[in-house]
Amino acid sequence: MTDGVAAADEMDAFSYLHADVRAALSERGFTTPTEPQRKAIPQLADGDHGLIIAPTGSGKTETAMLPVFSAIRSREPRHGIQALYITPLRALNRDMRERLDWWDETLGIEVAVRHGDTTDYQRQKQADDPPDVLVTTPETLQATFTGKKLRRAIADVEHVVIDEVHELAASKRGAQLTIGLEHLREHAGSFQRIGLSATVGDPEEVGRFLTGDRGCRIVEVEAGSNIDVSVLTPEITSADRKAAGELLTDAEVASHVRAVDELVAAHDSTLVFVNTRQTAEGLGSRLKSYGTDVGIHHGSLSKAARIDVEDRFKTGELDALLCTSSMELGIDVGRIDHVVQYSSPREVRRLLQRIGRAGHRRDEISSGTIIATTPDDAFETLAIVDRAERGEVESAGIHHASLDTVANQIPGLLMGFGELSAARAYDIVTQAYPFRDLSEAQFKAVVRELSGNRLLWLDEDADRIEKSGGTWQYFYANLSMIPDEANYVVKDMASGDSVGTLAERFVVTFAAPGETFVQRGEMWRITEIDDETEEVLVSPVGDPTGEVPSWVGQEIPVPCDVAQHVGRTRAEARARFDDGVGRAHVARALADRFPTDEHTASEALAPVEAHEGPVPSDRRVVVEGFGREIVINAAFGHTINETLGRLLSALIGQRTGSSVAMDVDPYRIELEVPPGITIGDVVEILETTDPDHVPTLVELSLKNADALKFTLAQVAAKFGALKRWKGKGSSQNRFGKDRLLKALEDTPIYDESVRVVLHEQLDVDGASRVLRRVQVGGIDLQTVGERTALGRAGRSSGKELLSPEHADASVVETVKERIMEDRVLLACLHCDEWDRRQTVDRVPEKPECPNCGSTRIAALNPWADEVLQSVRTDEREKDDEQRKQTERAYKAASLVQSHGKKAVIALAARGVGPRNAALIINNHRENEMDFYRDIIERERQYARTKSFWD
């Protein structure tokens, strides 16, 4: 098709549709196609595979379905299912059904929904009398292969539409779906594949993912030019300081709450996005206390609670909906006229998708405000907005050759075929794009593992695999690739209604009768915990001081390109300061260049102006330190910094035989190193470690990492190698996980677990590139022998600053908050069988061992594993250092036994060991302020002298 003809076809895209469909369009008032419809309908009507990339509200669903409806109306009636519409969320299924109902009635094309909540009656009806179009999820597609009637019905499939394909492409659910589509192809023959996607950085790769690399027409509508975003750091007012006390927070957070409230008041319907469920509950509860008309929406709330707030927001009963990524996808909650993003969205694609929820009308600009909470946050957000306007979007991050997905899908193939040759199964699996490079050896190892776990029969001599007694049970227990993590259901005792869920680790570490926590933006008091039914019974309370649950989940990683952009912008600003330009002028220039105001720009620039010494940038790494604290200022993003941090920790640990505390953000790697390690040692490692050895060194460092052990348990479950652990606290069984690790080494389960951690949390190739650039001079490596303003500006910045000479009330409160948020390692020295890491504020007034009831509990640094090891080493085998550590631990335990939580607080302070803690406590201060002033004085003395201690 020539360009001229293509352009003409686009202008008359609806002419490619069946007359009945065109008549329906006229009846509905659609006279001209939207941009994606103009570009895509002619090609889709010709039967081409297609990937439509366009913002929310641009008519993507109709772009895909109008040609499908047209094709169905053009054919003779069939008994089977002619089209599948696959979405990643059941809520989207519900929305799609409602959107397609009108077309169903007008065109006489039957549309039905099938997912996990579909009743048995409806399932049987769909099997006996299949609809023309079935709206379903990736998991329910798997189940269609198991029944004879449904297998006959799907043999008629001619079209498969996959909604939100970008979301699936980045997950194992998507990898599972690609094999499912190849399985479907074995029953139905070739069919048209159509994907609907938000903006992605690698559309060709997503197209190959969708079609199995069989060719794909890509239609892309730019999103960056249709957004209007401003970045704001609110100025703190006297009203904010007053509100802070009422909201039980500080003035800075109070100013954020006020800013969100003002934005909600200025618009008719506002979505407020946050990055974590904890933030959703924490910010949501404070907004409600402030009087903001807001509902809370995230994945740990019950289905009924989510639907309730969706409906209330859609009907205008709520002014705002505060949500996590649960609302990024196209769930219909009515028209949204503004989006607020609280804190950096972390990624360009996330920004585009979230802000794109505002303005559902054709050619309407999507407006949004991002509230930057720190200087890092502001620079990061400005970089993301700038990259969005340039169309520089991240890649999808496809899971290639995930072995647990293969393990999951082989029983699925057996459920569809009964038996088949291993060679044929391998051929089906490797036709799916993410598995094109899966080796025969890997496939055979997976099959042998499944056979050993009694999930199938394997006859290697005959090259046959068959169903076994365990296949059916495994298949239905593992329809989903979403990890099976234990959750407790939260139930309101009065109404019996489900409130939401709590992760098992939150219940184990925090929950007890009488404790309060926040969920749905409201306060609840725990009345009973039933470990057998995994239920937490609660009652509503008005107390605003509840705990925010710590749900399982990772921080959204900031990509390297964004972090590099931040480093570059900082360096440019510092060059202006070095030229003698004042902060006000630099801020004005920044505000002219980016969509922000001068106050926000000035706040972001403060640590850059205050910084002394070489400034870390996209091409300069600055290593700084003071005593045992070393910070590598490196603007390489989360995953590269995490990899470099693990590498440094592992190599330093090898040299010293001691553990290294590590904290990472996109711009820093913070280490607390053993005695004797200096900045020079860190620089030496960066300059001399062979980049080619990074993969091996990092993999070795993972062996003792909780991340690998946790992933190993999840992957083993998908291989059928273990049953989900039951009972309170079982998933925290560190010994069990260590034993599991040893048992599964040299298996495909271990290989897949390592691959997952490397894929999702680390970037070995990126870290190798950084080392290579350091060693050839492409990255300038410099050192500073003290802490700098930028080095202190990370997540723990508030905790690292030295207290002033006179500790007034605000300083005392800040130090108190910091200590309460710090983690402490509690260990029973009576039975030597119990230890737990938790924040100081969660420590009871009189700590005691849950195993033996003893109150001889030592409070130690959270990374003091070597101290525990010393205590638990046979007395005859201890060296002098271990005896000293044991003695200090017993002194700490004696203090806790005598003074309870007060001793834990004193011991958690910086540089305050048992001796100084005893002095502070024995001063018998009459009030809490003086107690904390004593702590501050000890911390100041330690900070002045700690560089000489080691």
Distance CA 74, CA 47 (A): 13
Distance CA 368, CA 271 (A): 9
pLDDT at 28: 82
- Considering only CA atoms, which of 946, 889, 882, 944 is closest in space to residue 914? 889
Residue 76 burial (CB < 10 Å; 0-12/13-18/19+)? exposed
Distance CA 268, CA 272 (A): 13
Distance CA 456, CA 409 (A): 12
**Average pLDDT over the chain, rounded to an integer:** 85
pLDDT at 486: 66
pLDDT at 95: 66
Q: Measured between alpha carbons, how far is residue 143 from residues 138, 413, 885 in Å?
A: 9, 11, 58
Task: Report the relative pairing of strands 522-530 and 535-541 from DSSP bridges.
Answer: antiparallel
* E-assigned strand segments in 222-364: 227-232, 270-273, 294-297, 320-323, 338-342
- Contacting residues for 330 by C-beta, under 8 A, at least 6 apart: 56, 92, 95, 163, 164
**8 Å CB contact between 54 and 213:** no
Task: Look up tokens 């002419």; give the residue.
Answer: 15
Q: Record the tokens describing residue 408, joined without a space.
A: 């999951």
Residue 51: strand, helix, or coil: strand
Note the pLDDT tens digit of each residue in 551-602. Answer: 555 568 999 999 999 999 999 999 999 999 999 999 999 999 999 999 999 9
Distance CA 815, CA 943 (A): 14
Rg of the chain in Å (alpha carbons): 30
- How is 439-501 classified by DSSP, letter by letter? -HHHHHHHHHHHHHTTSEEEETTTTEEEE-HHHHHHHHHTS--S----EEEEEETTT--EEEE
Supply the DSSP symbol for 547.
B
Number of helices (H) and strands (E), helices first, in the chain?
Answer: 39, 29
- Considering only CA atoms, which of 243, 284, 237 is closest in space to residue 260? 284
- Confidence check: pLDDT of 94 > 70: no
- Considering only CA atoms, which of 670, 684, 604 is closest in space to residue 632? 670
Band (800; pLDDT cuts 50, 70, 90): very low
Task: Report the relative pairing of strands 535-541 and 487-492 from DSSP bridges.
Answer: parallel
pLDDT at 783: 94
Note the pLDDT tens digit of each residue in 452-478. Answer: 999 999 999 999 999 998 899 999 888
The CATH class given to the 226-390 domain equals: alpha beta
Residue 816: strand, helix, or coil: helix
Distance of CA 366 to the CA centre of its chain: 25
- Confidence check: pLDDT of 426 > 80: yes
Distance CA 948, CA 950 (A): 6
- Enclosing H/E stretch for 604: helix 598-610
Task: Report the relative pairing of strands 535-541 and 498-503 from DSSP bridges.
Answer: unpaired
Note the pLDDT tens digit of each residue in 885-904. Answer: 899 899 999 999 999 999 99
Dihedral, CA atoms, 118, 124, 129, 130, nearest 10 degrees?
Answer: 40
Q: Record the tokens describing residue 353, joined without a space.
A: 């998708």
Distance CA 583, CA 716 (A): 56
Note the pLDDT tens digit of each residue in 895-928. Answer: 999 999 999 999 988 778 888 888 888 776 557 7
Residue 657 has a CB neighbour count (10 Å cut-off) of 8
Residue 926: strand, helix, or coil: coil
- Confidence check: pLDDT of 802 > 50: no
Note the pLDDT tens digit of each residue in 363-422. Answer: 678 889 999 999 999 999 999 999 998 889 998 889 999 999 999 999 999 999 988 999
Distance CA 867, CA 909 (A): 18
Answer with the residue of higher pLDDT: 850 or 91.
Answer: 850
**8 Å CB contact between 340 and 211:** no
Long-range (24+ apart) CB contacts under 8 A made by 900-905 are 900/845, 900/846, 900/847, 901/840, 901/843, 901/844, 901/845, 901/846, 901/847, 902/931, 903/859, 904/824, 904/826, 904/840, 904/843, 904/847, 904/859, 905/819, 905/820, 905/840, 905/935
Would the CATH topology of 3-222 be identical to that of 226-390? yes
Pick among 1.10.10.10, 2.30.30.100, 3.40.50.620, 3.40.309.10: CATH of 404-477: 1.10.10.10
Distance CA 133, CA 158 (A): 10
**8 Å CB contact between 382 and 569:** yes
The CATH class given to the 3-222 domain equals: alpha beta
Strands, sheet with 835-839, edge to edge from the N-terminal-most edge strand: 835-839, 823-828, 857-860
Answer with the residue of higher pLDDT: 98 or 879.
Answer: 879
Note the pLDDT tens digit of each residue in 166-201. Answer: 989 999 999 999 999 999 999 999 999 999 998 888
Distance CA 228, CA 623 (A): 38
| Average confidence (pLDDT) over 335-356 | 91
Q: Record the tokens describing residue 246, joined without a space.
A: 């009422």
Distance CA 559, CA 383 (A): 11
Note the pLDDT tens digit of each residue in 606-652. Answer: 999 999 999 999 999 999 988 888 999 999 999 999 999 999 988 98
Q: Record the tokens describing residue 113, joined without a space.
A: 């929904």
- 629 DSSP β-pair partners: 626, 672
Q: Record the tokens describing residue 208, joined without a space.
A: 């190959």
- Enclosing H/E stretch for 584: helix 583-593
Distance CA 605, CA 439 (A): 52
Q: Sketch the domain layout of the chain as residue ranges.
A: 3-222, 226-390, 404-477, 497-541, 607-784, 803-949
Distance CA 586, CA 601 (A): 8
Band (529; pLDDT cuts 50, 70, 90): confident
- Confidence check: pLDDT of 949 > 90: no
Can you state the percent helix, strand and coil of the chain, rounding each to 5? 50, 15, 35
Note the pLDDT tens digit of each residue in 723-778. Answer: 533 333 344 333 356 677 778 888 999 999 999 999 988 999 999 999 999 999 99
